[in-house]
Amino acid sequence: MPVLTSPLTRRPGIAASRSTIFAALFMLLGFAQTIVLTVLPIEALRLLGEARLVSLAYLGVGFAGLFGRLAIPLIIRSIDRSGVLMLGAGSLCLSGLLLVSATVPGLVLGLLCNVFALGCLEIILNLCVLDQIPRGELGRFESKRIFFAATPWTFGPWLGVWLQLNVAVWLPFLLSAASGIALLVSLRGSLTAAPNRRQPTRPSPSPLLSVRRFFSQPRLRLAWALAVGRSSWWGMFQIYAPIYAVQSGLGAEVGGAMVSMGLGWMWTVPLWGWLGRRYGVRKLFVAGYAASGAVTLVTALLMQSAWIGAAAIVLAALATEMLDGGGNSLYLRAVHPYERSEMTAVFASYRDATQLLPPAIFAALLTAFQLPAVFVAGGVMMLGMSGLARYIPRRF
């Protein structure tokens, strides 16, 4: 079923301007998330006392977050998108208040509110993109979105910790909540002026039926699996690159610099986006996953030499960054307009999947092997994803 468009959305200049505005809004969302990204596990470790308990807390929050995210379409049906947007911003504020209480119950409830809030904001923002951005512009929009998000993802994790240690404990949470409120204010107009938006004509299915419907569609299933692979690699990088730096004797500061440099490759996304438009997302994904897998495997072999291993990890991040040139465009072009709310909620669950499965697998590996085994597993996974990317339709 074709997407309804207005004359305005068919005008390239207006469409390009709209895509730039929405890409900038993803920068706000990224800041709301990354300013507390490193603060949260540090606070959890301080209150719980050991890494094992922190892992269990995050695992429980991940499970709860998965079900909460799947329930968001039902909430949208009840209170509309503007209500969910307000609920997300309010939950982000409540999360900050709970986390600064410096208690274990406050920590757990604060993490739950944070996950739910970011799920609400991300889903509504993605729905607005699908309503406002013409189908033919989605590929270009994805590379632009990731480029705009490069700033918070490069500086946010470091800045949050620095502010907490040098200015005020509560300041990162305040800035996160302020970013959520700014996103709320910016999006309110878009919720009522959506040229591509279709009103639902049938009752919203239950979350479990939405999951079944999502995974019955091969293109959506493929987009979800590839997103899980990409996100899992980045999760591995953000956790185990600093651990490698500490264990190899380079130090925690070098580990932080490695993460910043690896995430800083996001500034190259316009190049990868151009290559994706020039040669196709299918070729970009096949090459990107293969390059990431190969360099990650080489990294595992070079870890006996600390500085060479560190450089290899950063280069593996560059190879993985190729994939962000296509971003989530495969999903955005595959989802049907009449089921965007339900399918977007299920697709966004790839973030929850990457918070549950990879940590469990890596923890099991580390009970029997040394740290390089994690990168071997990550490399093999990415090579498998390269083979899976060959199933992307050739026209993409």
Report d(CA 26, CA 20) in Å as an integer. Answer: 10
290 neighbors 386 (Cβ within 8 angstroms): yes
Q: What is the pLDDT of residue 295?
A: 92
CATH 3.20.20.70 fits domain 9-194:
no
* DSSP conformational letter for 339: G
368 neighbors 228 (Cβ within 8 angstroms): no
Q: What is the pLDDT of residue 9?
A: 39
DSSP states along 8-44:
TTTSHHHHHHHHHHHHHHHHHHHHHHHTTTTHHHHHH
What pTM was computed for the model? 0.67
pLDDT at 8 over 50: no
At 206, list the tokens.
């239950």
Question: Angle of helix 269-279 relative to helix 138-166, nearest 10 degrees?
Answer: 160
pLDDT at 119 over 90: no
Mean pLDDT across the chain:
79
State the number of CA atoms in the 13 A half-sphere of 262 facing the CB: 29
The most confident of 52-56, 66-70, 305-309, by mean pLDDT: 305-309
Q: Residues 340-382: pLDDT tens digits?
A: 667 777 887 787 777 777 777 877 787 778 888 889 999 999 9
Residue with tokens 């946010």: 156
pLDDT at 202 over 60: no
Report d(CA 345, CA 69) in Å as an integer. Answer: 6
DSSP states along 95-126:
HHHHHTT-SHHHHHHHHHHHHHHHHHHHHHHH
15 neighbors 134 (Cβ within 8 angstroms): yes
Amino acid present at 95: S
**Continuous segment of H or E residues that includes residue 369:** none
For the chain, helix (H) and strand (E) counts, in that order, are 16, 0
pLDDT at 105 over 80: yes
Q: What is the pLDDT of residue 194?
A: 47
Q: Which residue spans of the chain are classified as CATH 1.20.1250.20?
A: 9-194, 205-396
Residue 356: CB atoms within 10 Å = 15
Third-level CATH fold of 205-396: Growth Hormone; Chain: A; (1.20.1250)
